[in-house]
Structure 1
Amino acid sequence: MHGTFAAPDACPALVLNADYRPLSYYPLSLWSWQDAIKAVFLDRVNIVSSYETLVRSPTFEMQLPSVVSLKSYVKPTRFPAFTRFNLFLRDRFTCQYCSARLELTFDHVIPRSRGGQTTWENVVTACAPCNLKKGGKMPEHAAMFPMQAPFRPTVGDLHKNGRAFPPNYLHESWQDYLYWDSELEP
């Protein structure tokens, strides 16, 4: 076995479910090299692909896994957690009032002061200027209506949106597993 000795921290492993789909697309399901090796030794994963980078101990040598698949299928949740990041992802990191992509925050369509709740169905991504402009007014009083009505997304909705914002680093061994269910171009 031969290989290089690049920094192991630059070698995360893509984690696939037992059906060879990523556990999540965005944020991408990645494990540190230490977690990947631990899972290999605990016999929880299969190594699908490896880096050329080696790790060694006095009695052991191994190429770092670049892609691993779980041996047991993990049933994905249908609905994602309501977090700021997931909200921004649902709304494609775009202000729902003016399409800006800077200074993002969120806005309660029906203001909290008017009984609006902090839920998927009442919160949208907004830039700071639009959020300030709308303030505590109802949409019709502010003449500001979201481009897309707020809704509770599925994990599939977020995966679809996440594909438009790929991570900064994609190892070539991951390509076959990230977009295998994307529509092919004619």
Structure 2
Amino acid sequence: MTIHVSPEALPALVLNADFRPLSYYPLSLWSWQDAIKAVCLDRVNIVSEYDRVIKSPSFEMRLPSVVSLKSYIKPASNPAFTRFNLFLRDRFECQYCGSNSDLTFDHLIPRSRGGRTTWQNVVTACSPCNLRKANKMPKDIGMWPSQTPFQPTSYDLQANGRKFPPNHLHESWMDYLYWDIELEP
């Protein structure tokens, strides 16, 4: 049910039963229609509401702005190895120069030399750095990634996702998006 919805469509932030968002990036949002359906099917609790009311001849309710699932969904502990998750792990930055444009990925040990496509051997790279490194080993060309590649946990990806907030955050969502972030002294 997680989809991209515009702020004008009055989406509902979806929280797990522990009141944490199901995902931060993309932010777990449901259309108001899906939120109403989940309320009627008794799958969620309404945590906060918009001022907007919907009506039918026999029914009236304010649109939910935040809902929480009644049943806890355990996040996957080992995220799938996808291009998006790789970029999210590496914070959408080339691991060689820090650029955030024209991103692709690079095998530290090139495939032509037996390198595999795994979390531990692949990093985000911009096209110019990827072309420069080509099929050379990092030590041969002196190109080292800014962080050692690793298999991220769901928590790692969620933590990185929080660094990329969407353009629109409704004020009723704020208490649920960043409540577990360490406070500045």
**TM-score, normalised to structure 2's length?**
0.92
Count the aligned residue pairs. 180
Between the aligned partners of 1:131 and 1:90, the Cα distance in structure 2 is: 18
Separation in 1 of the partners of 2:97 and 2:108? 14
The CA distance in 1 between the partners of 2:120 and 2:47, in whole Å, is 40
Q: Is the 8 A contact 1:49 1:67 kept in 2?
A: yes
For residues 1-186 of structure 1, what are the structure 2 equivalents within 5 Å? Answer: 10-186=9-185
Task: Tell me how far 1:9 sits from its aligned partner.
Answer: 5.4
Q: Which amino acid aligns with 2:120?
A: E
Q: Specify the code of the residue in structure 1 equivalent to 2:104.
A: T
Runs of 5+ consecutive residues of structure 1 not aligned to the other structure: 1-6
Unaligned runs of 5+ in 2: 1-5
- Say which is worse superposed, 52-61 or 28-37, in terms of deviation: 52-61
* Paired amino acid for 2:19: Y
Residue 179 (structure 1) shift: 0.8
| RMSD between aligned residues | 1.5
Could you tell me whether the CA contact under 8 Å between 2:7 and 2:168 is conserved in 1?
Answer: no
Name the amino acid aligned to 1:174.
W
C-alpha contact (below 8 Å) 1:95/1:101 kept by paired residues: yes
- Contact kept, 8 Å, 1:9 with 1:32, in 2: the verdict is no
For 1:49 and 1:20, how far apart are their aligned partners in 2?
12
Q: Percent identity?
A: 74
Residues 99-127 of structure 1, C-alpha deviations (whole Å, 9 max, x = no match): 11111111111111111111111110000
* CA deviation profile, 1:138-165 (whole Å, cap 9, x unmatched): 1122221111111001111111111211
